[in-house]
Amino acid sequence: MRPAGAETGYDLWLRYAPVENAQRRAEYRSAFRSIVIHSETPTAQVIVVELERASRHLLGSSRAVRAPSG
């Protein structure tokens, strides 16, 4: 019998479970190449961090999340 694993409140709220189906994960990786954030506010910076965290957990690799230069 496996002991129950504790989750943090953060994981419970945003549970980024990995996409187990390899074909589906590859499709998502292909479709989700990058996101451009048109802001450099503190809120936008939090969004960037969260999107990178989500892609790392869901897809197994971080996707490019960036603000436009200039």
Share of residues in the chain with pLDDT > 90 (%): 21
Predicted local distance difference test score (pLDDT) of residue 22: 95
What is the total count of domains within the chain?
1
Rg of the chain in Å (alpha carbons): 15
Predicted local distance difference test score (pLDDT) of residue 49: 87
Q: How far is CA 18 from CA 26, 50, 69, in A?
A: 12, 15, 32
Q: Which domain holds residue 53?
A: 14-66
| Count of positions (residues) in the chain | 70
Q: Quick check: helix, strand or coil at residue 37?
A: coil
Mean pLDDT across the chain: 82
pLDDT tens sequence across 37-53: 888 899 988 888 888 88
Determine, yes or no, domain membership for 31: yes
Predicted local distance difference test score (pLDDT) of residue 6: 66
From CA 23, how far away is CA 30, in angstroms rounded? 11
pLDDT band of 4, cuts 50, 70, 90: low
Determine, yes or no, domain membership for 3: no
With the C-alpha atoms ordered 35, 38, 40, 45, is the resulting torsion angle positive or negative? negative
